[in-house]
Amino acid sequence: MLSSKKLRSLQPYIRIIEANKGKTIGNICQNIFNYNHSHFKKGASGLIIENLLGLKNNNSPLADLKDLKVEIKVLPLMLHNLKVKEPTQIKMINFLEIAKETWETSKLRDKIETIFWIVYGVPRDSKTKKNLSQDNYILLDWFIDVPNDEKQFIFKKDWRLI
C-alpha cells in the first residue's frame, strides 16, 4: 500500500510528468538542455527523464529517493505491439557484497519497496518496421508499484537464489 506521505512527496514529480505527457523525448531534451540529443546512446531517454525530474544520475545501491525508499524507473513500450522494449534493471549485482547480506539487510529491498514507473512509447517506421530514434519516443504515462506481500515473497525467494 502506498502511504500518504510517499504520495504527497511524489506529487511534484507526478505534476512534471503530467505536464509533459504527449511530448517527445527530443522536445523534452530541447526544453531542458537547449540542444538535440540524437547522437546519444542507448539509455539516453532515461537520463533525459531523470533530468526533467531534477534528479542526478546515480549508481547508488540506495533508492533514487532514498528517504522515501522510492526508485524511479523508465519503461519503454513499443507502440506497434504494446510490449516492453527491453528488460529493466533495478540494480547491478555485486556477488561479493550480496554474500555478506541477508534479505533483511539487503540494499535491494529499498530499491523495490516502491517503484515510480514512467512509461514512454517507442514508435516505429511503418515502412522499414524499425524503431524510430529516441528523439521520437513519446512520454505516455506514469504509475506507482508497491509490491504486495506475495510479490515481496517472490523477490525474497529469487534473491536467495542469487
In degrees, rounded to 5, the angle at the alpha carbon of residue 114 between the alpha carbons of residues 75 and 45 is: 25
- Per residue in 65-104, pLDDT (tens digit) is 988 999 999 999 999 999 999 888 887 778 888 888 888 8
Domain that holds residue 156: 4-161
Query: Considering the entire predicted model, what is its pTM?
Result: 0.87
d(CA 20, CA 158): 36
Number of domains within the chain: 1
Task: Give me 107's grid cell.
Answer: 540494499
Task: Give me 49's grid cell.
Answer: 527523464
Q: Are 90 and 71 spatial neighbours (Cβ–Cβ below 8 Å)?
A: yes
pLDDT value for 6:
93
Helix (H) or strand (E) holding 28: helix 25-33
- Per residue in 129-149, pLDDT (tens digit) is 999 988 999 999 999 999 999
Give 53 or 90, the one with higher predicted confidence: 53
pLDDT value for 42:
56
The CATH number linked to 64 is 3.40.600.10
Cell 540506495 belongs to 62
55 φ, ψ to 5°?
-100, 155
